[in-house]
Amino acid sequence: MVATDATSIKEGSFVSTEKTVEPTADGHYLVIDGRKWRASDPSIPDTLRQELVDELMSARRAVKNRENDARIRVNDAKVALGERGQPWWEKHEPQAFNERIMATIGALLRKRAGSSICPSEVARVVGGKGESWRQYMDDIRQVAAEMASQGELIATQKGVAVEPNNARGPIRLLLPPRPAQ
C-alpha cells in the first residue's frame, strides 16, 4: 500500500511525497518507510475513530503553536486509539484499561468542545467489536465518577448534575465550564 502526502508549495506548484505503508502480518503494526508504528485498534467504530483522529490532528497543531496541555491531548488521543499504552490486542490490565478509558473520555470531550458524550461511546472505543462493549459500562461509570470527583468532568441526567455511580439509567458526560481568565 502506498500513502501519498501532497503538499502545496509557492506559486501553485504541487509536490507529492509517497510513503510506503505496509501492515505487519498480525496487523498490530504498520511499517512506514522501514519504521514500525503501532496500528490503531481496528475495532473502534469508524465515526468514533474519525473523531479521535481529528482530535489527534488538532492536538498536534496545538503542539506546534505551543498551546498549554497540547502534549497531554496528543497522548490522550493516541492512547484512546490504542497507539500508546497497553497494546489493544492484549488482555486488559485493570490500571492500563482505566487509563485508556480516561484518555478516551478526555479526547472525545475535547473534540466535541462543549457537547456531552455518552459513556456507551467510550465503551465502543475501548470494548472491542460487536456487543462486547456493554460489559465495560460499569468500569466506565467508575472511571467517570473518579474524574467527576476530581472536577475533570460533570455527569448529567436530563440536564441535572448527578453522581455517575449512583445514577440509574442513562447519563451524559461533559467538561466543566472553564473559569474566566
Domain assignment present for 149: yes
Identify whether residues 20 and 55 lie together within a single domain. Answer: no
pLDDT at 155: 96
User: Can you tell me the mean pLDDT for 4-19?
Assistant: 46
Q: Tell me the helix, strand and coil percentages in the chain, rounded to 5.
A: 45, 20, 35
Identify whether residues 46 and 35 lie together within a single domain. Answer: no
User: Can you tell me the mean pLDDT for 10-28?
Assistant: 69
Domain assignment present for 181: no
Identify whether residues 79 and 97 lie together within a single domain. Answer: yes
Q: How far apart are CA 143 and CA 154, in angstroms?
A: 12
Domain of 14, in residue numbers? 1-39
For residues 46 and 105, is the Cβ–Cβ distance under 8 A?
no
Domain count, the chain: 2
SS3 annotation, 54-89: HHHHHHHHHHHCCCCCHHHHHHHHHHHHCCCCCCCC
Residue 6 has pLDDT above 70, yes or no: no
Q: How far apart are CA 157 and CA 162, in angstroms?
A: 6
CATH of the domain at 96: 1.10.10.10
Identify whether residues 49 and 103 lie together within a single domain. Answer: yes
CB atoms within 10 A of CB 85: 18
Reported pTM: 0.86
For residues 111 and 54, is the Cβ–Cβ distance under 8 A?
yes
User: Can you tell me the mean pLDDT for 89-112?
Assistant: 96
